[in-house]
A and B are shown apart, each in its own frame.
Chain A
Amino acid sequence: MTTHFSKSIKSALLALSWVAVFSCKPGDFGTTNINPNASEIPVTSALLTNVLNQSARGFTTTATEPDLYIQYIANSQYPEASLYSTVNADFGGYYSGPLYDLQNIINYNTNTATKASVAAYGSNNNQIAVARIVKAYFFQVVTDRWGDVPYSEALKGAPTPKYDTQQAIYTDLFKELKEASAQFDGGTTVQGDILFGGDAAKWKKFANSLRMVLALRLSKVDPTTGKSEFASALADAAGSIATNADNAAFAYLNNTDFRSPWAAAYDGRDDFGVSDVFVNALQSSSDPRLPSLVAKISSGKYLGIPYGLKRDLLISWTGQNPQYSHPGASIVQADSKGYIMTAAQLLLSRAEAAQRGWTSENATTLYNSAIRASFEQWGVYDATTYATYTASSGVSLTSGNALQKIGTQKWIALYPNGYEAWAEWRRTGYPALTPTPYAVNVSKQIPRRYGYPTSEQTLNKANYDAAVARLSGGDIHDARVWWDVK
């Protein structure tokens, strides 16, 4: 028994010593928890490339919903969106996507611990300047869609950012664009810039142009500020986008990953045709851009889909008309261009500013130059047709209704950039559009904003409630953003 017991003791000691060996440093795992799949430090130029790749896609210039609202296109099979079924849309993707990537570029180029290492991708100032300009561009799209949105407290990782008023956001965007333009320091060129190749002069023109677009948005709500901001941008020595060579145009590539979203939309699906409204408008004015903007059907005709039919009527129509016009080849080709901001658009903005008396420029000259720039952009410029077109009574500024004509020309020139065209239509009311009679929304009117993401009602309730309280009619798409004054 005694030997037995001592044996047990021995074994227990053996076990304990094993425990001791085993547990000498049980909490030390060395490098085990270092992620082998990803880097701890970002390549800021790769962040910029990623952001710019999104600068002309669904977030911005190539979204089909505003193209439907503005009646550029019509649904061919499932008409819900053209009947205004979307009320709430999510803005989260802008913030956690491109906006934070831009903020991260700014952070890494600002933080003293990291700025030296990321300077390999362009001088710190140049990188920050580009990031601030692109950030302003994205924020403008966001605020124009929803109105008051998180801005001053956004992108800080703080869980519940407040909503700034659109007015405050616009004020800051003007400041940002001015400061960013001035921040280029002539140092190392920004890497990863697949929009302007690191060309600071082009970025400055883009910044000034964006200031003009923003300034003009204030034409109804605050023309005084609009006028002074516009004039200030116009006076800037760096200039603005005035020729197609300066266009902010994203070059899509002929492969699946970077092809035009329009090419992707028609690869295996056929959900959209050009709307009869757009086709008829161009046909009635014998617009020479028609062949470039709209494709013919096999019979050699242009045939737009009647805008806003409900589903059974639409299917009945497509049953009778199995073919309808798609956007033109220069839009739907895989390696076409995604126009973010163009000379035609800016020249029309300047024409409008001149017409409003904000500047002393000649409205007619600018207007005609804009039409010519648009023709050239789409490769249809011909001196004779240009002269005929600009002289026609529906087009010529001298025959009256100047603002309406400028608005209509902008509608055509912006095609197919839906968000910008929709914003301009909301601001000016041009061209006059009739809502679909089959609308499924309560007001049956064309939406004037997007409802806030439904997630905000629970995730960020207090700030959401404060923003909604500032909206007339509540968080609906018939409420108007700040600059959209009746």
Chain B
Amino acid sequence: MLLASAATYAQSVTLRGRVISAEDGVPLPGVNVAVKGTSRGTTTDANGAYQLDVPNGQATLVYSFIGFIRQEVVPGNKTTVDVELSSDASQLEEVVVTALGVKREAKALPYAVQSISGDRISPTRQTDVNNALAGKIAGVQVMSQAGSNLGASTSIRIRGAGSLNDKAPLYVVDGTPVDGTNLFLSPDDMESITVLKGPNATALYGQRGDAGVVVITTKRAKANGGIGLEVNQTTTFERPSLLPKYQNMYGGGGDSEWQTFKWETGYPEEWKALDGKRYHDYTDDASWGPKMDGGEYIPWYAWYPGTQYSNKTAAFTPQPDNVRKFYNTGHTYNTNVNFSKAGENFNVRLSYTNLRQTGVQTNTDLKRDQINLNSELFLNKHFTANASIQYNIQRLNGYFSDGYSNQTTGSFSSWFHRDLDMDIVRQFADYRSPIGTLVSWNHDNPSVPFVQNGRFYKGNYWYNFFSYANNISNTGQKDLLLGNVSLTYKLDDHFRMSVIARRDQRNENYENKVPTIMELSGWQTGLKAAYGTAQITRREDNFEFLSAYNNTAGAFTFDFNVGGNIRKNFYRDIYAGTKSGLVVPDLYTLSNSRDAINYANNRFYKEVRSLYGRGTIGYKDRVFLDFSGRNDWSSALPVNNNSYFYPSVGLSVIFSEMLKIPTLSYGKLRASTARVGSDLDPYQLSLTYGVGSVKYGNNILMSTPDLLPNAGIAPALSSSYEGGIDLKFFNNRVGLAATYYQEDKTNEILTVNIPAASGFSSQVINAGHIRRNGVELQLDVTPIRTPRFNWDLTVNWAANRSKVIELTPDVKTFTVPNYNDAFAFARVIHQEGQEWGQVRGRGIKYLDGQPVLNGDGTYQTQNDVYFGSVLPKFTGGAFTSFRYDDLTLTLSMDYGKGGKYFSLSNFWGQYSGLLAETAATNDKGMNVRDDVSAGGGVHVKGVNANGEKVDTYVNGYDYYHQFGNNGIAEASIFDATFVKLREINLGYNVPVRKIPFLNGKVRSASVSFVARNPWIIYVANPNFDASELAGKFGENGQLVGTRSIGFSVRLGF
């Protein structure tokens, strides 16, 4: 930059000042300070200080710095002008990290790229990278997990689905490809997240980038004036959010009859007090019992001696809040301390994050410790050494299951008694029966033989929820080591070369213990005392070199990279567990197994070698031609066909530079096309035979695998086109980006189902043609920008269609493996000619749109009905922040329209008479459970098999049992539409320099109120949060979602 000579301006005034960041008070070095309308200017030094001669006090000073909002000041009579610059999220996107970690100017990119950075990453400081993307990036569908499921990893889909296998995107942290599951990074350590969406952007990442790439850059130290210490602390409190609507009229039992207790010899003497009193069916775990009429009855807990309730009756009353009362208030403490220092020859940032969380479910907790070290050493003018290391340890304790009949929601919404007083259930958590067992609400009905043989004192299907949670021990530890070390040789300003070694290593360790008391306390619970353990090691190493060259020749700029990579994937696991119980009670060793232990042991290794290059040629900073090429060799492909090449090419034109349209500050047109290749998992080229872990006498057992391999498999290639426009108006205050894309994935390597009569149930083939296309829109607006008040708004919307155009010549249907509920009532199917991912199951038979009814008014059924695609029609979100002086309010919301899902909780919740509709009032004003002859029943309209109209009432019991009896999925298929306010942050930036006792001691300070999931604005089916489905098909009895509020403090020194 120019430092103008003071001598030329006789009346000039010398101004001094400091430029700091408005957000955190950090001094900003390198800020341009210019006198408007002149060529005079300077830049700030390492401490943010500057000195500049100006013609006079009326001159306008312009302070500008990349990533910050430009500010103009008229100094007047002042000689010291300190300026605070606010960061500009829209400008931060101007430089983006693209494939191979190359930082590039956004204007040169021929494809859509979106980034979020700073406070936008997570206003509530949540740690799941994928959750942080919700609603912020057009075309990213975030599939969150229930908040009570501690440590559960959210997954995302970028641009719907492009492959028959619902592939996850590739995650890249500081250039290191990493496994996206369980990727928990502290928001305090993340500088930015960039999403590269289509193959055009990701071609250079190769095969693994074809579902998109999420590029995460962690923070590095910057020169600042303070001591470089920052402390962040967030404390939040959690409660369950959405629960299904339950009925509150009828109590527990499989039938509605009261039974009368008749004391007889063989029963405990004290039960005489209960003689002649009524009780409902305890044995069955449904809620088709008698009406909760407030009358006297014998509750489940009255039969146990030695309590305040022993041998006493109670009133049979509804307990509408019993499920909610099960949950505790969860706590999360997230603390981060980081140190950073940068000098002329180095920068180092060391960060430690401590997360302590107790869940809403009894006896669940999570501990996470994370260390992040980023350092760079500038050895001399040629060599730079860099190390970036991330080490996480996570320990998870507690019972978490999103599966069918889990011992929380799996009971509450599928098999439960609506009359249970949860406080009393809790009081019996540690109570021991006369035979020493833990007791349950779901015990047998009294009978002399069962009292005498002890069965009466055990749980029939269910334990006391609290006894279960307190006694079962499931622990898991995950260690994660991510990192890279590199050495860069910089020859001159044009040429440099790096060698880099990268590693992503995960070690997982699990232990599960079931104490003997649980085995003794259950009747049909199926639980055996047990000990199980597993150890899993995954490692990916990448060794790469990368050379870069850039130069200018006249109006042209050149920028090239050439590189190579060797990737090594290594996996090993050992699982072992006791079988059929423990010999010595509560001794948790494998050798204590009653039968020969279960065990398994697997390992695999794969290697991919690659060479690649890319380049950009720019003309006058207006037209950019971008191209890349990559060749991979994969060890998993047949030796004679294991090499594949894929190119990309794109063009962007900054037309605003040529057309000079008023109010249009920036305009770019972009278009690109690319191919991407992919391979398959190792060892899939020939049949191999494993030895079973058990022996019949001395005979080993072996079976032929059901998957028919294919020795002639070829690498798969997909091609895509993308075009778009980026516009900015009114001095960048309104920005609009629009993208259209189309991708054709052909000849994928697929494992397709084949008729099992062939001898194999599936086969590896090259086949298929999936086309996805869609539109993405993003609007950034700053409706109000004044020195004291600022309002930013970002809105995005994306529509995607993924269609299965062709499967194979023989097979027109692809059943997606493992995408079905526990009973396979509903499955996810790819059907030729239809949209990707159809939910399919047994439906109701229709004739001209009318349901066909049997003589008794129940529905006739139809196999294999397609209920629609699991993919939403469109997704999007809005992110907005209001700043008034030092007060900032940030809101983040997201929505999804359409997409189908199957709810197993709904399926059994209806069957068991738990959900509100099973005790609803019909159009005659009577309860659907009342006799049809008395005006009750569910009103059913339809036609008989001959097409004649039928208008009748079906007893509620029979109506809601028909779906279970005949496995009809249709009544539990729902639309996944939702609108959700996901995050709120109300923050106050403490003006430390104006507070005498803080000034000079504290560099920056802020406090915030935060809320996560505060408001589910709309869900199509109000019983379930469709944005948190555990499975791709829907849900299996999944854990409860949560809402949390808390506060956050940030201090910088």
Are B259's CB and A40's CB within 8 A? Answer: no
| B1025 at interface by CB-CB < 8 Å | no
Given contacts A4-B492, A194-B699, A319-B281, contact A256 B580 (CB under 8 A): yes
| B701 at interface by CB-CB < 8 Å | yes
| B966 at interface by CB-CB < 8 Å | yes
Chain B residues within 8 Å of chain A by Cβ, number? 104
Residues of the B chain whose Cβ atoms lie less than 8 Å from the Cβ of A458: 812-813, 829, 831, 864
Chain A residues within 8 Å of chain B by Cβ, number? 98
| A316 at interface by CB-CB < 8 Å | yes
| A46 at interface by CB-CB < 8 Å | yes
Q: Which of B214-222, B520-528, B785-793 contacts A (4 or more CB under 8 A)?
A: B520-528
Q: How many whole Å from B493's CB to the nearest CB in chain A?
A: 10
Question: Which residue of chain A has the shortest Cβ distance to B527 in the bound complex?
Answer: A268
* CB-contacts of B694-743 with A (<8 A): 694, 696-697, 699-704, 706, 708
Are B607's CB and A32's CB within 8 A? Answer: yes
Distance of A301 Cα from B812 Cα, bound (Å): 57
Which one of A23, A91, A100, A155 has the highest number of Cβ atoms from chain B below 10 Å of its Cβ? A100
Q: How many whole Å from A302's CB to the nearest CB in chain B?
A: 15
Are A322's CB and B449's CB within 8 A? Answer: yes
Residues of the A chain whose Cβ atoms lie less than 8 Å from the Cβ of B447: 322-323
Are B757's CB and A42's CB within 8 A? Answer: no
Question: Which residue of chain B has the shortest Cβ distance to A39 in the bound complex?
Answer: B689
Q: How many whole Å from A443's CB to the nearest CB in chain B?
A: 11
Are B757's CB and A154's CB within 8 A? Answer: yes
Residues of the B chain whose Cβ atoms lie less than 8 Å from the Cβ of A46: 691-692, 699-702
| B284 at interface by CB-CB < 8 Å | yes
Residues of the A chain whose Cβ atoms lie less than 8 Å from the Cβ of B22: none
Residues of the A chain whose Cβ atoms lie less than 8 Å from the Cβ of B688: 35, 37-40
* CB-contacts of A431-464 with B (<8 A): 440, 442, 451, 453-461
* CB-contacts of A43-98 with B (<8 A): 43, 45-47, 49-50, 53, 77, 80, 83, 85, 87-88, 90-93, 95-97
Contact of A256 among B259, B595, B704, B829 (CB under 8 A): B595
Are B696's CB and A27's CB within 8 A? Answer: no
Are B967's CB and A85's CB within 8 A? Answer: yes
Are A459's CB and B813's CB within 8 A? Answer: yes
Residues of the A chain whose Cβ atoms lie less than 8 Å from the Cβ of B754: 159-160, 459
Q: How many whole Å from B289's CB to the nearest CB in chain A?
A: 10
Are B491's CB and A8's CB within 8 A? Answer: yes
| B964 at interface by CB-CB < 8 Å | yes
| B763 at interface by CB-CB < 8 Å | yes
Residues of the B chain whose Cβ atoms lie less than 8 Å from the Cβ of A29: 607, 633, 635, 639, 642
Residues of the B chain whose Cβ atoms lie less than 8 Å from the Cβ of A315: 253-255, 281, 283-284
Provide the B659-696 mask, 1 if CB < 8 A to any CB of A, else 0: 00000000000000000000000110111111110101
Are A38's CB and B690's CB within 8 A? Answer: yes
Q: How many whole Å from A164's CB to the nearest CB in chain B?
A: 10
Given contacts A23-B611, A96-B760, A103-B759, contact A49 B966 (CB under 8 A): no
Are A43's CB and B254's CB within 8 A? Answer: no
Contact of A160 among B525, B601, B755 (CB under 8 A): B755
Distance of A37 Cα from B681 Cα, bound (Å): 14
Are A15's CB and B545's CB within 8 A? Answer: yes
Residues of the A chain whose Cβ atoms lie less than 8 Å from the Cβ of B522: 268
Contact of A83 among B547, B635, B699, B965 (CB under 8 A): B965
Contact of A459 among B497, B609, B706, B811 (CB under 8 A): B811
Are B703's CB and A50's CB within 8 A? Answer: yes
Q: How many whole Å from B645's CB to the nearest CB in chain A?
A: 12
Are B756's CB and A92's CB within 8 A? Answer: yes
Distance of A91 Cα from B755 Cα, bound (Å): 10
Are A255's CB and B595's CB within 8 A? Answer: yes
Residues of the A chain whose Cβ atoms lie less than 8 Å from the Cβ of B606: 32-33
Question: Which residue of chain B has the shortest Cβ distance to A36 in the bound complex?
Answer: B603
Distance of A210 Cα from B603 Cα, bound (Å): 45
Contact of B854 among A91, A97, A270, A442 (CB under 8 A): A442
Distance of A353 Cα from B854 Cα, bound (Å): 43
Given contacts A23-B611, A32-B607, A159-B810, contact A93 B756 (CB under 8 A): yes
Are A159's CB and B758's CB within 8 A? Answer: yes
Contact of B758 among A45, A157, A253, A310 (CB under 8 A): A157
Distance of A104 Cα from B257 Cα, bound (Å): 58
Contact of A33 among B685, B689, B755 (CB under 8 A): B685
Are B689's CB and A253's CB within 8 A? Answer: no
Given contacts A32-B635, A456-B755, contact A18 B545 (CB under 8 A): yes
| A337 at interface by CB-CB < 8 Å | no
Is chain A's binding surface mostly helix, strand, loop or mixed? loop
Q: How many whole Å from B480's CB to the nearest CB in chain A?
A: 25
Are B759's CB and A100's CB within 8 A? Answer: yes
Distance of A299 Cα from B450 Cα, bound (Å): 12
* CB-contacts of A149-200 with B (<8 A): 149-150, 153-161, 192, 194
Are B702's CB and A311's CB within 8 A? Answer: no
Distance of A88 Cα from B495 Cα, bound (Å): 69
* CB-contacts of B246-267 with A (<8 A): 253-257, 259
Are B643's CB and A319's CB within 8 A? Answer: no
Given contacts A8-B492, A255-B596, contact A316 B704 (CB under 8 A): no
Residues of the B chain whose Cβ atoms lie less than 8 Å from the Cβ of A23: 564, 609, 611
Distance of A354 Cα from B259 Cα, bound (Å): 56
Are B758's CB and A33's CB within 8 A? Answer: no
Q: How many whole Å from A57's CB to the nearest CB in chain B?
A: 13
Residues of the B chain whose Cβ atoms lie less than 8 Å from the Cβ of A398: none
Residues of the A chain whose Cβ atoms lie less than 8 Å from the Cβ of B755: 92, 150, 159-161, 455-456, 459-460
Are B759's CB and A33's CB within 8 A? Answer: no
Are B756's CB and A323's CB within 8 A? Answer: no
Provide the B16-42 mask, 1 if CB < 8 A to any CB of A, else 0: 000000000000000000000000000
Are A253's CB and B696's CB within 8 A? Answer: yes
| A11 at interface by CB-CB < 8 Å | yes
Given contacts A92-B756, A149-B757, A316-B257, contact A33 B701 (CB under 8 A): no
Residues of the B chain whose Cβ atoms lie less than 8 Å from the Cβ of A316: 254-255, 257
Provide the B545-567 mask, 1 if CB < 8 A to any CB of A, else 0: 10101000000000000101010
Q: How many whole Å from B1014's CB to the nearest CB in chain A?
A: 41
Residues of the B chain whose Cβ atoms lie less than 8 Å from the Cβ of A383: none
| A236 at interface by CB-CB < 8 Å | no
Question: Which residue of chain A has the shortest Cβ distance to B547 in the bound complex?
Answer: A15
Distance of A323 Cα from B453 Cα, bound (Å): 12
| B444 at interface by CB-CB < 8 Å | yes
Given contacts A85-B966, A256-B595, contact A15 B758 (CB under 8 A): no
Are A53's CB and B689's CB within 8 A? Answer: no
Q: How many whole Å from B937's CB to the nearest CB in chain A?
A: 15
Q: How many whole Å from A3's CB to the nearest CB in chain B?
A: 11
| B445 at interface by CB-CB < 8 Å | yes
Distance of A19 Cα from B706 Cα, bound (Å): 42
Are A312's CB and B288's CB within 8 A? Answer: yes
Provide the B954-988 mask, 1 if CB < 8 A to any CB of A, else 0: 00010001101111000000000000000000000
Q: How many whole Å from B604's CB to the nearest CB in chain A?
A: 8
Residues of the B chain whose Cβ atoms lie less than 8 Å from the Cβ of A40: 686-689
List 9 tightest A-B contacts by C-beta distance, closest first: A92-B756, A315-B254, A268-B526, A150-B757, A100-B759, A46-B702, A38-B688, A458-B813, A35-B683
List 26 A-B pairs, Cβ < 8 Å: A7-B492, A11-B495, A15-B562, A22-B566, A37-B603, A38-B689, A46-B701, A85-B966, A87-B863, A97-B706, A153-B757, A155-B757, A159-B755, A160-B754, A161-B757, A256-B580, A267-B526, A268-B522, A269-B524, A313-B255, A315-B284, A316-B257, A319-B255, A322-B450, A458-B813, A459-B753
List 5 additional A-B contacts (Cβ < 8 Å) besides A27-B642, A37-B601, A43-B702.
A8-B495, A35-B683, A37-B683, A92-B756, A315-B284
Residues of A bordering B, CB below 8 Å: 4, 7-8, 11-12, 15, 18-19, 22-23, 26-29, 32-43, 45-47, 49-50, 53, 77, 80, 83, 85, 87-88, 90-93, 95-97, 99-101, 103-104, 149-150, 153-161, 192, 194, 253, 255-258, 267-270, 297-299, 310-316, 318-319, 322-323, 440, 442, 451, 453-461
